[in-house]
């Protein structure tokens, strides 16, 4: 797909957005693809969380693309629909990309359970990566500290700005970190303010890390985390809550979990962020 000042590519084998160029500059260091996995936090290492949600760890890599359909609903809009089956319960999963003027991409991800026995989801979202130069994060949502579904009332809703390195908390034991809830929009930009702006159709959660989920899973302590030459961007409808009523096995309250036997949808837009 291409238009004035932008070009984008979707891999027909994976259904992922693999390239997004603005004014000739590549904005993606890793594709935009589904994401269902969340690194455990310390509470969850001590409960049955990992065993319960384990089938979702490789759900993205194990998805099977069944169709990639393209059409042009209007003279200035192109649409690509990617249909897939997830290995967890053989569940249908669809991503719809709508390309409009000015480089705007509207993304809609939809999940339907293929089985009423599907386990809890760690998260329902998508992820991508941007080059390291896009190292400034601004958001309109809760902050300035991290907030989670069941730990957010201490975060005020306002506009905040931090470098990527300050978006994560250096927990003594390496774990999931840096989520921000009730976010209306956020940007990931360079020092001039050029980059990407992501806008939720409804309030979303997001985080930006200077490393990957696999890095977090492999490390025991913060000093073992590498500083990658890219920044990982997570955009989510929700994450499984942190729990923590005690530190010896209490599960997250049910109202802050994502049952696998119900549908979910995530809608957001990607638009260029112009230099200040």
What is the tens place of the pLDDT at every residue in 36-65?
A: 999 999 889 888 899 999 999 999 999 999
Map out the domains of the chain with their CATH numbers: 2-273 (2.70.98.10)
CB count in 10 Å sphere of residue 192: 12
Place of tokens 């896009």: 134
| CA distances to 94, 160, 226 from 165, in Å | 33, 14, 12
3-state secondary structure of 222: helix
Burial of 42 (0-12, 13-18, 19+ CB in 10 A): middle
Looking at residue 101, its pLDDT comes to 85
Structure tokens at 210: 């200077």
Average pLDDT, the chain: 96
Q: Please, what's the largest Cα pairwise distance for the chain?
A: 59
Q: In angstroms, rounded to a whole number, what is the distance separating the alpha carbons of residues 59 and 87?
A: 6
Q: How far apart are CA 67 and CA 64, in angstroms?
A: 9
The reply to whether the predicted model has a pTM over 0.85 is yes
Indicate whether 217 pLDDT > 90: yes
Which residues is 266 bridged to in the sheet? 109
Per-residue model confidence as pLDDT tens digits over 151-172:
999 999 999 999 999 999 999 9
């Amino acid at each position: 797909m291409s238009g004035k000042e932008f070009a984008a590519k979707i891999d027909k084998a994976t259904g992922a957005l693999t390239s997004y160029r603005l004014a000739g500059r590549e904005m993606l260091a890793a594709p935009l693809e589904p994401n269902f996995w969340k690194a455990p936090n310390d509470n969850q290492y001590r409960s049955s969380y990992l065993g319960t949600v384990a089938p979702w760890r490789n759900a993205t890599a194990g998805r099977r693309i069944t169709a990639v359909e393209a059409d042009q609903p209007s003279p200035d809009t192109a649409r690509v629909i990617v249909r897939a089956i997830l290995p967890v319960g053989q569940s249908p999963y669809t991503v719809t990309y709508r390309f409009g003027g000015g480089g705007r991409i509207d993304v809609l991800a939809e999940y339907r359970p293929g089985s009423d026995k599907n386990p809890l989801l760690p998260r329902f979202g998508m992820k991508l990566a941007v080059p390291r130069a896009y190292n400034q994060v601004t958001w309109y949502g809760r902050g300035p500290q991290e907030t989670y579904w069941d730990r957010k009332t201490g975060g005020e809703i306002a506009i905040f700005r931090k470098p990527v390195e300050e978006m994560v908390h250096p927990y003594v034991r390496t774990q999931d970190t840096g989520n921000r809830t009730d976010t209306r929009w956020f940007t990931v930009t360079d020092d001039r303010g050029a980059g990407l702006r992501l806008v939720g159709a409804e309030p979303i959660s997001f985080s930006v890390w200077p490393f990957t989920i696999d890095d977090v899973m492999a490390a025991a302590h913060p000093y073992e985390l590498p500083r990658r030459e890219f920044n990982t961007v997570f955009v989510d409808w929700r994450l499984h809550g942190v729990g923590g009523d005690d530190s010896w096995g209490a599960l997250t309250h049910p109202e802050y979990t994502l049952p696998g036997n119900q549908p979910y949808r995530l809608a957001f837009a990607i638009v260029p962020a112009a230099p200040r």
